[in-house]
């Protein structure tokens, strides 16, 4: 893939804007398993701007080793030297020259494919947003060919906004609901597709001429928090998403955990009731079947005698249910209360199993605060193991689908980065 270059090819770039950095903020001397060249690059990306002497200190390697590695990264166009502004030079300890990721070295796209709409974002190699777009869709599963066409339409639209060609992209990351084998690019089952066992990554790569990577959409939300949000400085945290389904992404030791076959962390399909409610996965008693939007709609149709509203969209029906609850309707409140209690069971199990530093509740359904009312949060504490230690904090992030797309972009960025740095290491070894 041809590298995108900046307008100036000078060895030292001007500092024209702040660089906050993206990616996990890993404490010094705590990551000894990954190749040192990759550790150097990832620390530069996470810091935004960092001096060579600081890199040597944080990685406990010699300044000469840092100079050699960063020289290779500069020559390859992955990083650049950035001159500190004149005002910054007078600040004690501020280096005159720092290292930063070359922002236009690579561009990637991230997409969230959902039951309601598809969203996309293009970011540069440093994680800065270049452009984004969204297209609505009719609810329900569609064919692979229709999905590919929608992805192509959306990508061409956002590329036009970014004023780039499709070929300027180094990769595309996609988040898809359902059971996804990320390593194989295989969608075993998804609510957005009417076919099973679809090799979606290779199909999109062939259709668009750009390398594609696919993952479960809850995992992409966890990546978004790890790269851009509250999880950057945390070693272990969980993200639970509540939308059309219920998903979970888990970060352990600053890395996304997927399980031995890449299909782990399916919290929504843990069983909470034997022979219980029918889940859209085809089994009964799944947690999702009591918490997700279709579960709330099913309860509303029965308890409120809303059979005449069967033709309405889920969004309209749920908004009506929420309005009734806010107006004091006891039945509507009890529906949210019941779903909240099941959610408390699921979250307490997460705490008992993984003991995370933080649990983040994310997704469109977080607008419905009855799901996480004070009594629900209190019930989580009652169901979790009593240790005498402080309760695991829970944060509510009611972000839109664009956050999920950013996580898919982080998936693409992480793979492109590793591939590029690993290729340098192989060249150096020859």
Give the orientation angle of helix 314-326 with respect to helix 330-354, to 10 degrees.
100
Class of domain 234-399: alpha beta
Q: Which of 44, 45, 407 is nearest to 223 (CA)?
A: 407
Contacts of 201 (CB under 8 A, 6+ apart): 174, 184, 185, 186, 212, 213, 214
Q: Give the span between the Cα atoms of 203 and 189, in whole angstroms.
A: 16
What residues does 109 pair with on adjacent strands?
122, 172
Task: Fold for 12-105, please state it.
Answer: Arc Repressor Mutant, subunit A (1.10.10)
Token digits of residue 233: 């400085």
Q: Is residue 351 within 8 Å of residue 236, measured between CB atoms?
A: no
> What strands, in cross-sheet order, belong to the sheet with 212-216?
129-136, 117-124, 107-113, 169-176, 212-216
Q: Is residue 321 within 8 Å of residue 354, measured between CB atoms?
A: no
Q: Which of 174, 157, 237, 153 is nearest to 401 (CA)?
A: 174
Domain 107-222+403-414 coded CATH 3.30.420.40: yes
Token digits of residue 282: 């085809």
Residue 7's pLDDT is 35
For the chain, give every residue range classified as CATH 3.30.420.40: 107-222+403-414, 234-399
The conformation of residue 372, written as its DSSP 8-state character, comes to: G
pTM above 0.75, yes or no: yes
**Can you say how many angstroms the Cα of residue 96 is from the centroid of all Cα atoms in its chain?**
35
Where do the H-state alpha helices sit in 137-189?
144-162
Q: Is residue 127 within 8 Å of residue 413, measured between CB atoms?
A: yes
**DSSP output for 130-148:** EEEEEEE--SS-B-HHHHH
pLDDT tens over the chain, length 430 residues: 334 443 334 444 544 456 789 999 998 877 777 899 999 999 999 999 999 999 999 999 999 999 999 999 999 999 999 986 555 444 555 547 899 999 999 999 999 998 778 999 999 999 999 999 999 887 788 999 999 999 999 999 999 999 999 999 999 999 999 999 999 999 999 989 999 999 999 999 999 999 999 999 999 999 999 999 999 999 999 999 987 889 999 999 999 999 888 788 999 999 999 999 999 888 999 999 999 888 888 888 888 877 656 666 777 788 888 888 888 889 988 898 898 899 999 999 999 999 999 999 987 767 777 666 777 888 888 898 888 878 899 988 866 668 889 999 999 999 999 999 998 865 554 4
For the chain, give every residue range classified as CATH 1.10.10.10: 12-105
Q: Is residue 142 within 8 Å of residue 79, measured between CB atoms?
A: no
């Amino acid at each position: 893939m041809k590298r995108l270059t900046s307008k100036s090819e000078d060895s030292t770039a001007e500092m024209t804007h702040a660089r906050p950095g993206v990616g996990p903020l890993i404490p010094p001397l705590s990551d000894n398993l990954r190749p040192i060249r990759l550790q150097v690059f990832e620390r530069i990306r996470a810091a935004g701007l960092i001096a060579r002497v600081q890199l040597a200190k944080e990685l406990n390697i010699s300044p000469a080793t840092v100079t050699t590695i960063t020289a290779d990264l500069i020559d390859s166009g992955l990083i650049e030297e950035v001159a500190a502004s004149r005002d910054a030079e007078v600040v004690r300890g501020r280096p005159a020259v720092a290292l930063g990721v070359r922002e236009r070295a690579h561009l990637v796209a991230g997409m969230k494919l959902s039951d309601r709409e598809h969203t996309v974002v293009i970011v540069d190699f440093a994680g800065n947003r270049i452009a984004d777009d969204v297209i609505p869709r009719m609810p329900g599963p569609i064919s692979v060919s229709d999905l590919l066409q929608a992805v192509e339409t959306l990508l061409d639209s956002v590329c036009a906004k970014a004023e780039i060609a499709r070929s300027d992209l180094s990769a595309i990351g996609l988040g898809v609901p359902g059971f996804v084998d990320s390593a194989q690019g295989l969608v075993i089952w998804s609510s957005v597709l009417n076919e099973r066992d679809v090799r979606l990554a290779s199909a999109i790569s062939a259709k668009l001429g750009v390398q594609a990577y696919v993952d479960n959409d809850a995992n992409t939300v966890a990546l978004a928090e790890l790269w851009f949000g509250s999880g950057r400085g945390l070693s272990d945290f969980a993200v639970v998403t509540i939308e059309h389904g219920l998903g979970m992404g888990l970060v352990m030791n600053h890395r996304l955990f997927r399980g031995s076959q890449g299909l782990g962390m399916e919290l929504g399909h843990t069983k909470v009731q034997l022979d219980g409610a029918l889940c859209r996965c085809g089994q009964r008693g799944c947690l999702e079947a009591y918490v997700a939007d279709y579960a709330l709609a099913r309860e509303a149709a029965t308890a409120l005698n809303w059979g005449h509203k069967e033709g309405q969209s889920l969004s309209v029906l749920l908004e009506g249910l929420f309005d009734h609850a806010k107006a004091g309707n006891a039945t509507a409140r009890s529906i949210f209360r019941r779903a909240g209690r099941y959610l408390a069971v699921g979250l307490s199990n997460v705490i008992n199993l993984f003991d995370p530093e933080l649990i983040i509740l994310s997704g469109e359904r977080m607008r419905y605060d009855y799901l996480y009312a004070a009594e629900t949060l209190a019930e989580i504490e009652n169901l979790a193991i009593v240790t005498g230690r402080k309760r695991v904090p829970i944060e509510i992030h009611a972000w839109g689908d664009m956050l999920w797309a950013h996580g898919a972009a982080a998936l693409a960025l992480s793979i492109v980065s590793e591939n590029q740095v690993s290729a340098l290491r192989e060249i150096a070894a020859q």
